[in-house]
Amino acid sequence: MSDHDTPAQAAKKLFIKTYGCQMNVYDSQRMAEAMGAEGYVLTENQSEADMVLLNTCHIREKAAEKLYSDLGRLKPLKAERPDLKIGVAGCVAQAEGEEIVRRMPVVDLVVGPQTYHRLPAMVRGEAPKIITDFPEEDKFDHLPQQRATRRAPAAFLTVQEGCDKFCAFCVVPYTRGAEVSRPVERIMREARDLVARGVREITLLGQNVNGWHGMGEDGREWGFGRLIRALGEAEGLERIRYTTSHPNDMADDLIEAHRDVPQLMPYLHLPVQSGSDRILKAMNRKHTAEQYLRLIDRIRDARPDIMLTSDFIVGFPGETDQDHQDTLRLIEQVDFGTAFSFKYSPRPGTPAYERAEVDGAVADARLQELQALLTRQQKAAQEGMVGRTVGVLLEKQGREAGQMIGKSDYLHSVFVDTTTAQIGDLLQVRIIESASNSLHGKIVSAT
Ligand code: SF4
């Protein structure tokens, strides 16, 4: 039995609630594995858990308040079972630190996103109950190897963490720290390990994933495009995606990888946030709308069928009607496959926090207008898939018998009629119908 096997008689149950982005989903998985080495198995049922871990996100509004109300709901469970351990991880843990235990004494431990490799020692009582520093060491060096269990066909792999960009509205540089890239050799090892366990699609994660750089296996400095080329040569890895990117880090070698690496899917999430140069400057995005548009041209030259998605913040402090119109114009010019849009809300500790806000009703009306345009584009992009044959990686059974659900090359959910295909099959599927949030297709052939 290895150090990381779980003795059946000692199995305790761990319930993890994950908020926020894919990086948190990945972190929760790694924390579960770290706790697996301590004899914990995951449960989906909070009431039977020996430990409840809330892996928090600080991006959305009132993140801390949401955490405190979730913790309030855990109080009766802790009163019933004083042995229950309650932990808070992630970006709110990082931002609030000791305040969490002060306000909610039911909490046994608080661990930031850069230190969760110490979670097992904290649970054993061999480390402080609050750890939110930014250590020199790489947490990934201290986490147990992922255990040799079968995995779902699509997996996340964190390659980069933190951010040095300091956009005026964003807490990430303060909660996740400075940009750090994981070494090539460890990324390649983890990718091969995932493939050996049944993974066929990997999404590379990072707050600024395309800012990744590192010393390559050939002794040279690699950029993110070179890393993708190396992953494209990994036997059995059929699909590569990455998120989230900054426009200023879309280097030539990455754009060329979109042209040259067939495993790199024709889908790119490239946040722009606004189409107004004035607002982009106030946001500290360090590029103009025109530079973004020219970048999109170059990406589309390299990969004409690429589907582009983005993020928009509406009602950023100082935004005028003209700025809003500029954003709508940029959206018209790019024609996005889908996009995420939010009304600006101030985050304590960020440069924009003290700035005068746009009137709420005005911002609401702008958001509605912008979302209506994005919804039209999304619908058109989805309907444009009908009649096309696309790759679909099957991920789960459908609701109805004889149906499975997978993701297309362009990340659409696709219902596929089949009684013989298996989860993990990568098929060529002809799209016959577009519904509100999904497509329906018939199998043409296995890829
Ligand atoms: S680049 Fe992204 S993560 Fe970094 S500060 Fe800007 S919005 Fe936040």
Q: How high is the pLDDT of residue 1? A: 34
Report the pLDDT value the prediction gives residue 132, as an integer from 0 to 100.
83
Output the residue whose Cα is nearest ligand 1's atom 1.
Answer: 165
Paired tokens of 80: 């019933």
Is residue 413 one of the residues assigned to a domain?
yes
Q: Which two tokens stand for residue 51?
A: 């430990």
Alpha helices in 283-385 (DSSP H): 289-302, 321-334, 360-383
Domain that holds residue 44: 12-137
Answer yes or no: is 1 within a domain: no
d(CA 66, CA 89): 14
d(CA 34, CA 193): 17
Q: Going by CA atoms, what residue is nearest to atom 8 of ligand 1?
A: 170
CATH number at residue 408: 2.40.50.140
Ligand 1 atom with the shortest distance to the CA of 164: 4
Per-residue confidence (pLDDT) for residue 145, from 0 to 100: 62
Which atom of ligand 1 approaches the CA of 176 most closely?
3
Measured in Å, residue 413 CA sits from the centre of ligand 1 at: 28
Query: Which residue has tokens 């659409």?
Result: 412
Q: Which of 24, 57, 161, 165 to mutate to test the pocket of ligand 1 (most atoms within 8 A of CB)?
A: 165
Task: Tell whether 116 and 228 lie within a shared domain.
Answer: no
What separation in Å is there between the alpha carbon of 113 and the centre of ligand 1? Answer: 16
φ/ψ of residue 198, rounded to 5: 100, 0
The verdict on 227 and 326 lying in the same domain is: yes
Q: Tell me if 170 is assigned to a ligand binding site.
A: yes
Residue 6 Cα to ligand 1 midpoint, Å, equals: 39
Residues 217 and 363 in one domain: yes
Residue 118 in any domain: the answer is yes
Mutate to test the pocket of ligand 1, among 208, 242, 272, 311 (most ligand atoms within 8 A of CB): 208
Which residues, in sequence order, are CB contacts of 171 under 8 Å at separation 6+? 58, 59, 91, 95, 347, 349, 350
Q: Are 132 and 97 in contact (CB under 8 A)?
A: yes
Last residue of a domain, one of 110, 137, 164: 137
DSSP class of residue 94 equals H
Gap between the Cα atoms of 438 and 405, Å rounded: 10
Probe residue for ligand 1, chosen from 58, 91, 166 as the CB with the greatest number of ligand atoms within 8 Å: 166
Q: Are residues 410 and 366 in the same domain?
A: no
135 is in an annotated binding site: no
The structure tokens listed for 413 are 């959910």
Q: Tell which atom from ligand 1 comes closest to the C-alpha of 246.
A: 1
Record the tokens describing residue 295, joined without a space: 């970048």
Q: How far is the CA of 145 from the centre of ligand 1 (A)?
A: 30
Q: Are 95 and 62 in contact (CB under 8 A)?
A: no
> Which atom of ligand 1 lies nearest, measured to the CA of 273?
7
Check residue 95 and give its pLDDT. 83
> Strand pairing of 12-18 and 40-42?
parallel
- Whole-number Å distance, alpha carbon 28 to ligand 1 midpoint, is 21
To the question of whether residue 162 is assigned a binding role by annotation, the answer is no
Residue pair 386/438 in contact by the 8 Å Cβ criterion: no
Tell how far the Cα of 280 is from the centroid of ligand 1, in angstroms. 13
Q: How many domains does the chain have?
A: 3
Residues flanking ligand 1, CB < 6 Å: 163, 165-167, 170, 172-173, 207-208, 246
303: in domain:
yes
pLDDT of residue 5: 41
Q: Are residues 418 and 364 in the same domain?
A: no
**Interatomic CA distance for residues 240 and 223, integer angstroms:** 16
| Distance in angstroms (rounded) separating the CA atoms of residues 20 and 348 | 18
Residue 21 labelled as part of a binding site: yes
Same domain, 426 and 356: no
Does 242 show up as a binding residue in the annotation? Answer: no
Buried b (16+ CB within 10 A) or exposed e, 9-29: eeebbbbbebbbbebbbbbbb
In a domain, 7, yes or no: no
**pLDDT for 7:** 42
Last residue of a domain, one of 137, 167, 191: 137
Q: Which of 60, 94, 167 to mutate to test the pocket of ligand 1 (most atoms within 8 A of CB)?
A: 167
**How many Å lie between the centroid of ligand 1 and the Cα of residue 417?**
41
Residue 324 sits in a domain whose CATH number is 3.80.30.20
Which candidate, 119, 155, 161, 99, places its Cα nearest to that of 31? 119
Residue 69 lies in a domain: yes
**Residue closest to 260 by CA, chosen among 309, 308, 304, 303:** 303
For residue 103, being part of any structural domain is answered with: yes
Please check whether residues 220 and 322 belong to one and the same domain. yes
Task: State the distance from the centre of ligand 1 to the C-alpha of 85, rounded, in angstroms.
Answer: 33
423: its two tokens: 């989860």
Strands (E), 40-196: 40-42, 51-56, 85-90, 109-111, 130-131, 154-158, 160-161, 180-181
Q: Is residue 216 located within the same domain as residue 103?
A: no
Q: Of 138, 182, 142, 135, whose CA–CA distance to 158 is shortest?
A: 182
Of 80, 103, 137, the last residue of a domain is 137
Say if residue 339 is in the same domain as residue 287. yes
Is 376 found in the same domain as 269? yes
Is 285 in the same domain as 224? Answer: yes
Q: Could you give the 3-state DSSP secondary structure of residue 141?
A: helix
* Ligand 1 atom closest to residue 170's alpha carbon, by position in its atom list: 8
Residue 55 CA to ligand 1 centre (angstroms): 20
Are 114 and 209 in a shared domain? no
Q: What is the pLDDT along the chain (447 residues), one digit of tens a residue?
A: 333 444 445 589 999 999 887 888 888 988 998 898 888 999 999 989 999 999 998 876 677 888 999 999 999 999 989 999 999 999 888 888 888 999 999 999 999 888 888 899 999 888 888 888 777 666 777 676 666 577 899 999 999 999 999 999 998 898 888 999 999 999 999 999 999 999 999 999 999 999 999 988 788 999 999 999 999 999 999 999 999 999 999 999 999 999 999 999 999 999 999 999 999 999 999 999 999 999 999 999 999 999 999 999 999 999 999 999 999 999 999 999 999 999 999 988 899 999 999 999 999 999 999 999 999 999 999 999 999 999 999 999 998 889 999 999 999 999 999 999 999 999 999 999 999 889 999 999 876
Q: Is residue 6 part of a domain?
A: no
**Closest atom of ligand 1 relative to the 284 alpha carbon:** 6
